[in-house]
Structures are given as C-alpha cells and as structure tokens.
Copies of this chain bind each other. A is one copy, B any other.
Amino acid sequence: MSVTAAPGFVAAGCHVGVKRKRRDLAILATDDGRPVAAAGVFTTNKFVAPPVVHSRGLLEANGGRASAVVVNSGNANAGTGDRGLADAKAMGKMTARAIGCDPRDVLVCSTGVIGLPLPMEKILPGIDRLATHLSRGGHGDAASAILTTDHVPKEGVVHGAGYTLGGMAKGCGMIAPNMATMLAFLTTDAEVDSPSLQSILREAAAETFNTLNVDGATSTNDTVFLLANGRAGKPRLDDFAAAVRELCMDLTLQMARDAEGVTKVVRLTVSGAASDAEARACAHAIAENNLVKCSWFGADPYWGRILAAAGSAGVAFEADRSFVAYGGIAVAKGGVEVAHDGAAVLAHMKQGEVEIECGLGAGSASARVIGIDLGPGYIKENIVTS
C-alpha cells in the first residue's frame, strides 16, 4: 500500500499529457479532505522553483498542516518566474476545489525539465478528473506518476508500535546532498504535532536522502513531505523517529539502485576525520570524484584515487595514518599498498553493492554516504533533455 498504508490517506495518478505517454499527474490526500499535521524539507538551491516557493510559504503560514499534495512530472515548473508561481497556485486551487478543502492546505510539487511553462490547459482539467479517482488502492498509480527518468517506482512501508508509516519517492539523477531532484511523500496515522514532525523529518532527511550522492548536482525542486493524521494516537517519539529514518533510508536505497546509468551502489565510510563536518565533506568529495567513480564502474580497487580525492578535499588528512579498505579488506595503510587478498577484493568490487572505507588518520569522526559509479549510461541519459 505504501503511501496509503496508514488508514485515512488516498491517492491517484494518471496521464494528462505533460509527458508524451507515461503518467504525469498525482494527488495524495486525506480521505475526508480535512487537514492534518504536515512537515516539509526543501531544496537548498538558490535557483528555487516556484512550487517550492509556494509550498514552503504555505507550511510557514499555516503552522504545518495539509489536506493534499498535487504533483506533476515531466516539467519542473522551474525557471518560469512569476508565471510559474501563478501556475503552482492554480494547481493548488484546482485541487482544493476538486476535493473540497482550503487551497492554503494543498502542497504543490513539480519535477522534470527546467525552463518551460507548464501546460496548464492539460493539468487543470486533469486535476479535476483525477480527484474523482482517489482511493487507498491508487498508491501505485501515484507512485508511477511522479517519476521522471526513473526506471521503477519507489514505495515502502514501516510498521511502528501501533501505527503505520508509508511513503513513495522519485529521483535518480541530479541527486546530491541537500535534496536534489528527488521527491518523497510520507504519511502516517501516528499523532505527532507539527513542530516535532518537522524536526524528525529534517533529521531523518539529513541522515538518509542527504547522504545519497549520484552526481553532486542539487536540484531546484526537491521536496519531502510527511503528513500525520493522528488516528492511531501518540507514538513514542524516539520510536517514531527511527521508523521515519528507516523508511527514508529504504526509499534512499531504492533511488540509488535506480540512479541514472548506475551499475554499482557504493556505501562509503570516511573515518578518522577531525570532525563530523569534515568527515561528511570528505565523503561527498570522494563520492563526487569522477576518476574515483570511473574506477568503481570498472570494479577497480584503485585506492590511490580514493586517497588523492581525500587529500584534495580540504580537510585534515594524514597520509601516514590513512587507510583504504574494500569490503572490510585493507588494501592500503599509511599511504602505501599492503599485502591483501586481491581476488577477494576484486570479487567484492564486482558486486552490485560494495562497501568502501577510507580512514583519514586525523581524528575520530566518521560519516557515511551512498555513492554510485560513473559509466556510459549516465552520459547517455543526460546528453540532451531540453
């Protein structure tokens, strides 16, 4: 059931013609149209898209609540200026009218190509029609309608102590730290006040979505929403936070495995850093380094490139105390290669998901990121899209 797994939520998705053939419009709503507690985390990109401006403003103004989320794919409604903002508002207004709620309680998202106006003549009547199809069984259509270059829908459910948490997500390129071209929508029947919901979502996003680094690019549209209708009563907040984190990580890994051109998902740990911030910065620098990513594509345990990336990341680094390990097998220590089981390392590197650790020898802080390799598939998917 994913995003409608918690009682009280309905969804629908259909094709209205933003894209040529595939589904491109989704609505997620409460089953009675009444607003529930809502939290949002948005892109940090300063070239921010109008729907993000609109939705962020709504949540700030209404103190964190929502009745529905309307999403189109195929067009990001970014780089569209005042007209784009008016279009985002019109999408919310039409959704509110169709399901009978306050337009100030309808969040709006768009994802797709930057720089073209939305085809409102297709979207507005589409919203009107789609609202009549909202149901608990509509989650699959909704999950497919929010996709862009994704190959598969991303859905997940976590069952907490007395409550349910479900979600769907999209994203497979332009994904870097800080929410890049990714959307995720989570719902729960747990009862959590808006401020707590917001801080739990922000923290979970930092530990999951923001550790995924597909290409170092940060999108203009990224958004994560969490809606809580309270029907199941109050959960223990630490238990609930863990459930949110678990679902977000599930969706994060689904995005990584579906990344543009991916052949390998890398769980990279940087340890021995002077601070948490330096550990994170270094981990992202390694995960974004094209030479490192090409060697991952080639299943090549080229530790020299890992250390070269770490050494130029602008963080404290002591080559004499550094190390690099693949699948738990140390290949280099103190900046030089050490005797190791080369066949075992190679076998590990040939898997679809690999573990790499780089020790900086400068302290005791560590960070983990999820990276992917760089192969011809990524380029093929990104040459011309406009």
What secondary structure prevails in chain A residues at the interface with B?
loop
B216/A289 in contact, CB under 8 A: yes
CA distance A231 to B362 in the complex (A): 48
Is A253's CB within 8 Å of the partner chain B?
no
Q: B382 and A295: CB pair below 8 A?
A: yes
Chain A, residues 172-189, CB within 8 Å of chain B (1/0): the string is 011010101000000000
Chain B residues near A298 (CB-CB < 8 A): 383-384
A137 interface hit (Cβ, 8 Å): no
Check B382 against A81 for contact (C-beta < 8 Å). Answer: no
Q: Which residue of B lies closest to A322 (CB)?
A: B47
Q: Knowing A115-B337, A376-B376, say if A311 contacts B383 (CB, 8 Å).
A: no
State whether A294 and B383 are in contact (beta carbons under 8 Å apart), knowing that A114-B308, A217-B289, A311-B45 are contacts in the complex.
yes
A114 to B83, CA, bound (A): 53
Copies per complex of this chain: 2
Contact pattern, A 59-96, Cβ under 8 Å of B = 1, otherwise 0 = 00000000000000000101111010000000000000
| Cβ of A260 to closest chain B Cβ, rounded Å | 10
CB distance B115 to A304 under 8 Å?
A: yes
Asked whether B295 lies within 8 Å of A217 as measured between CB atoms, the reply is no
Q: Does chain B have a CB within 8 A of A288?
A: yes
Q: Is the CB of A297 within 8 A of B46?
A: no
Query: Are the C-beta atoms of A288 and B216 separated by less than 8 Å?
Result: yes
Q: Which residue of B lies closest to A301 (CB)?
A: B386
Picked from B47, B173, B336, B374, the residue with its CB within 8 Å of the CB of A319 is B47
Expressed in whole angstroms, the minimum distance between the Cβ of A157 and any Cβ of chain B is: 32
Say yes or no: B217 contacts A309, CB within 8 Å. yes
Determine the residue in chain B with the shortest Cβ distance to A383: B298
A335 to B334, CA, bound (A): 49
Specify which chain B residues have a CB less than 8 angstroms from the CB of A46 in the assembled complex.
310-312, 317, 319
* Chain A, 15-60, CB within 8 A of any chain B CB: 44-48
Min Cβ gap A187→B in Å is 29
Min CB–CB distance A247 → chain B (angstroms): 26
Question: Quick one: which of A209-233 are within 8 Å of B by CB?
Answer: 215-220
A383 to chain B, nearest CB (A): 4
What number of A residues sit within 8 Å (CB to CB) of B? 65
Chain B nearest CB, measured from A186 CB (Å): 24
Q: With contacts A173-B291, A302-B386 known, is A47 near B308, CB below 8 A?
A: yes
Q: Which residues of B contact A297 (CB under 8 A)?
A: 379, 383
Cβ contact within 8 Å between A310 and B47: yes
* Nearest CB of B to A356, in Å: 15
| 8 Å CB interface, A302-336 against B | 302-305, 307-312, 317, 319, 322, 332, 334-336
CB of A132 within 8 Å of the partner chain: no
Q: Which residues does chain B contribute within 8 Å of A291, judged by CB atoms?
A: 173-174, 215, 217, 382
Given A47-B307, A311-B47, does the pair A290, B81 have CB atoms closer than 8 Å?
A: no
Residue of B nearest to A294 (CB): B382
- Measured between beta carbons, the chain B residues less than 8 angstroms from A383 are 294-295, 297-298, 300, 375
Contacts A44-B312, A48-B311, A78-B304 aside, 15 further interface pairs with beta carbons under 8 A come to A46-B310, A46-B317, A47-B317, A81-B336, A113-B304, A115-B302, A115-B336, A173-B291, A174-B291, A217-B291, A217-B305, A294-B379, A298-B384, A302-B384, A304-B386
- Among the listed B178, B312, B379, B384, which residue makes an inter-chain contact with A45, where contact means beta carbons less than 8 Å apart? B312
Complex contacts, A219 vs chain B, CB 8 Å: 308
Once the chains are docked, how many angstroms separate the CA of A79 from the CA of B48? Answer: 43
